């Protein structure tokens, strides 16, 4: 069975659209990164809370805090799917950039993804 694509939509045959494993993993990472704690009704602790930290003073300390929060969130919620190889976080004004190298545990393949988001 295919994984459900994000955002949820219909495919050309009228069924729920699917995503291959690589796309699904990236979609799960993006959802986790930009979900705030309390945003999910049945999982209020899901999320990273990066929006709250990104408005702190731009400093090495804030960047380090963001990196630790993101790493902890990925390890907690997606640790059975991916292993973090490297993680870089930059916050400038209201823009957050996360560069992530990860291994997909099912296949062992190392992938990279960059997530840019205006948090304003």
49-83: buried (b, 16+ CB within 10 Å) or exposed (e) per residue?
ebbebbeeeeeeebbebbeebbeebbeebbeebbb
Would the pLDDT of 57 be above 60? no
If one counts the domains in the chain, the total is 1
Would the pLDDT of 89 be above 70? yes
Q: Which residue has the higher pLDDT, 118 or 26?
A: 26
Query: In terms of pTM, does the model score above 0.85?
Result: no
The mean pLDDT of the chain is 82
Would the pLDDT of 5 be above 70? yes
The average pLDDT across 88-111 equals 87
Would the pLDDT of 80 be above 60? yes
Domain carrying residue 50: 3-118
In the chain, what percentage of residues exceed pLDDT 90? 29
- Rounded to 5 degrees, φ, ψ at 53 are -80, -25
pLDDT band at 19 (very low <50, low <70, confident <90, very high): confident
For residue 40, the domain's CATH number is: 3.10.450.40
* pLDDT at 1 (0 to 100): 45
Q: Which residue has the higher pLDDT, 59 or 16?
A: 16
Cα(94)–Cα(116) distance, rounded to whole angstroms? 11
């Amino acid at each position: 069975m295919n994984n459900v694509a994000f955002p949820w939509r219909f495919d050309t045959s009228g069924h729920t659209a699917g995503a291959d494993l690589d796309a699904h993993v990236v979609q799960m990472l993006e959802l986790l990164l930009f979900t705030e704690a309390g945003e999910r009704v049945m999982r209020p602790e899901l999320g990273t809370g990066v929006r709250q930290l990104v408005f702190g003073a731009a400093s090495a300390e804030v960047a380090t805090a963001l990196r630790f929060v993101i790493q902890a969130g990925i390890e907690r919620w997606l640790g059975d799917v991916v292993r973090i190889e490297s993680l870089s976080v930059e916050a400038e004004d209201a823009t957050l950039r996360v560069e992530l190298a990860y291994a997909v545990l099912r296949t062992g393949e190392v992938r990279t993804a960059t997530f840019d988001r205006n948090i304003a």
